[in-house]
Amino acid sequence: MNLKTINLFSLYRGKLVVQATLAGLFATTCYKAHGWKSDVLRFGAIGSLASVMMDATFHVADTINIRSKASVMSVQTSHMVQKIL
**Hey, what's the torsion of the CAs at 33, 39, 41, 46, to 10 degrees?**
60
pLDDT of 55:
87
> Which pLDDT tens digits describe the chain residue by residue (85 residues)?
677 777 777 777 888 888 889 999 998 998 899 888 999 999 999 899 899 888 888 887 777 777 666 665 666 767 767 766 6
Domain segments of the chain: what residues? 1-35, 37-85
pLDDT of 18:
87
pLDDT of 63:
76
Distance separating alpha carbons of residues 33 and 29, to the nearest angstrom? 6
